[in-house]
Every structure is written in structure tokens, then in C-alpha cells.
């Protein structure tokens, strides 16, 4: 089997990306064009001062918990019960970012799919970060994390640069809250109206508490999120 499409495309990993909009749920394709799963979640690791993307996660253990809230937790527990003799069953399969080559409409690996999955560690997950409650400097609730923007860092890894915060209304994954030139007019107008309160905050001013599942901001944000490719 050969690579599906010959024309080279822009590699998104070399530019800022919005994790939920551009990376989550994309198809995983190996170096021979074979399909091996979806980006069911993304592993985040604290490296020095930065929160970096260190792996993509795939498989039921990652997907089920993204189905959300109590249902997600229950489904993960059920998934573990299906085979209690298997160690670390709730730990998702991971593919290290070293094995990732480029991102376009899919995520392409630089290796073959055979045996590429590992279950060797557990980190933070992007799917947990999105959906966290966002609190202002006085503890008042501002909204929820809708997405997280990453930019290429010092050692080639993608590091968190800002959070996109809104009211959690439907349609954030459609991308209209981040660019104003995407048609059709009807859908753009409705979705942008729903997301008129969506703002972007710099990662330095946000303190992420994974234990409480909240993000506390040092100042009240007001800047509207524009698209990194806009």
C-alpha cells in the first residue's frame, strides 16, 4: 500500500494549533497509509514552566472518559470490569510525539502501526482541561475552557500558550468563534452570536488545578480569540 495522496501539505505541527479544533478526533495514519485509530485524547506533561503535548492517546480508555461527566467515568469503570486481570486497563494507549510526523486533515505517524501503542505512563489529558470551570481573580465563575492553543516551543514540542474560555454553548468545535471569514453566512451568524462572550487568556495568567478541575485567572480577560491560521 502506498501513501494515499502524493501532494505534500502544510504541516500544522510547525504552527500554533487549537487542540480541540485541530488535533482532537483526527484520524491516525501510519507511515504506510494504514489507519490505526483516532486522536481520542492528548497527553499533556508539565515540562519546566510549560505544559507540553507529549503524546496522543487512543483507544476506549481515552475515548470513553471524553463522553463526559459521570457517564464517562462510569463507562471507564465498566471498561475496566470487562477484564479485571489486565493491569492498567483504564490507562489509555499512547503514541509518543516522537513517532508523529505531521498533522493535516489527519495525524500522520513516522512509523508503522504494528505494535506502536504503549501503555507505559499516565499524564494529564487535554480532554480534562477542556470543560474545566474558569474562575476570575475574585473566585467568580467566568465560564469553561473550550479549547487550548499550543505553539511550537524550544525543543520542537508544542506548548500551551493560551486558553479559550466561553460559556460552553454548542458549536465551539465548528470554528466560527475563531475566524470571521468562514461561511455560510447563516451558520456563521448564529454560531458567532452564541459565542459572542468567548475570550482568550494567556497561559501565564492561568493557574490550572487538575485536582479541583478548575482554572483560576489572575485578571479578567476580554480579548476575543482569533484564529491562528486566519
Partner 1 sequence: MKKYLAVALGILTAIGGFVDIGDLVTNAQVGARFGLSLAWAVAAGVLGICVFAEMSGRVAAVSGRATFDLVRERLGPRLGLLNLVSSMLITFLTFVAEIGGVALSLQLVASVHLLLIVPLVGLLVWLLLWRAKFSAIENVLGLLGLALVVFAVGLWQLGPDWGALAHQAAVADKPADEDWRTFAYYAVALFGAAMTPYEVFFFSSGGVEERWTTEDIATMRANVFVGFPLGGLLSLAIAGSAWAVLGPLEITVDSLGQVGLPVAAALGKVGLAVAILGFVAATFGAACETGLSVGYSIAQYFGAQWGKYVRPSEATVFHAILLLATLAATAFLMTAVDPIMVTEVSVVFSAVALPLTYFPILVVANDPDYMGEHVNGRLANGLGSVYLVVIGVAAVAAIPLMIWTRMGQ
* Binding stretches for partner 1 (CB under 8 A): 1, 4-7, 20, 22, 24-28, 34-38, 40, 58, 63, 66-68, 104-106, 170, 173-175, 181-187, 229
- Which one, 41 or 50, has the nearer CB to partner 1? 41
Find the shortest distance in angstroms from Cβ 47 to partner 1. 27
- Which one, 216 or 227, has the nearer CB to partner 1? 227
Find the shortest distance in angstroms from Cβ 222 to partner 1. 26
Evaluated on CA atoms 183, 187, 190, 191, the torsion sign reads negative
Note the residue count of the chain.
Answer: 230
Find the shortest distance in angstroms from Cβ 54 to partner 1. 20
Find the shortest distance in angstroms from Cβ 115 to partner 1. 15
- Between strands 106-109 and 27-29, the pairing is parallel
- Which one, 67 or 154, has the nearer CB to partner 1? 67
Backbone angles phi, psi at 205, to 5 degrees: -90, 0
- Which one, 22 or 221, has the nearer CB to partner 1? 22
- Between strands 93-96 and 106-109, the pairing is unpaired
Find the shortest distance in angstroms from Cβ 189 to partner 1. 10
How far apart CA 19 and CA 56 sit, in angstroms, is 11
- Which one, 34 or 77, has the nearer CB to partner 1? 34
Backbone angles phi, psi at 141, to 5 degrees: -80, 125
Amino acid at each position: 500500500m502506498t501513501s494515499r495522496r502524493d501532494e505534500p501539505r502544510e504541516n500544522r505541527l510547525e504552527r500554533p494549533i487549537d487542540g480541540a479544533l485541530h488535533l482532537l478526533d483526527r484520524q491516525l495514519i501510519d507511515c504506510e497509509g494504514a489507519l490505526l485509530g483516532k486522536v481520542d485524547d492528548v497527553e499533556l506533561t508539565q515540562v519546566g514552566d510549560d505544559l507540553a503535548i507529549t503524546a496522543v492517546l487512543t483507544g476506549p480508555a481515552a475515548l470513553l472518559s471524553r463522553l463526559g461527566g459521570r457517564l464517562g467515568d462510569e463507562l471507564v469503570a465498566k471498561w475496566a470490569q470487562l477484564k479485571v486481570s489486565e493491569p492498567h486497563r483504564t490507562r489509555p494507549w499512547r503514541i509518543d510525539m516522537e513517532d508523529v510526523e505531521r498533522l493535516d486533515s489527519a495525524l500522520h505517524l513516522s512509523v508503522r502501526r504494528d505494535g506502536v501503542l504503549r501503555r507505559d505512563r499516565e499524564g494529564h489529558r487535554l480532554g480534562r482541561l477542556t470543560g474545566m470551570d474558569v474562575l476570575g481573580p475574585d473566585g467568580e465563575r467566568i465560564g469553561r475552557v473550550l479549547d487550548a492553543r499550543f505553539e511550537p516551543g524550544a525543543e520542537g514540542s508544542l506548548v500551551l500558550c493560551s486558553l479559550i474560555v466561553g460559556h460552553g454553548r454548542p458549536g465551539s468545535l465548528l470554528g466560527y468563534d475563531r475566524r470571521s471569514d468562514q461561511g455560510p453566512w447563516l451558520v456563521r451568524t448564529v454560531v458567532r452570536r452564541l459565542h459572542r462572550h468567548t475570550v482568550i487568556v494567556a497561559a501565564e495568567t492561568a493557574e490550572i488545578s487538575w485536582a479541583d478541575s478548575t482554572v483560576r485567572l489572575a485578571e479578567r480577560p476580554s480579548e476575543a480569540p482569533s484564529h491562528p491560521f486566519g
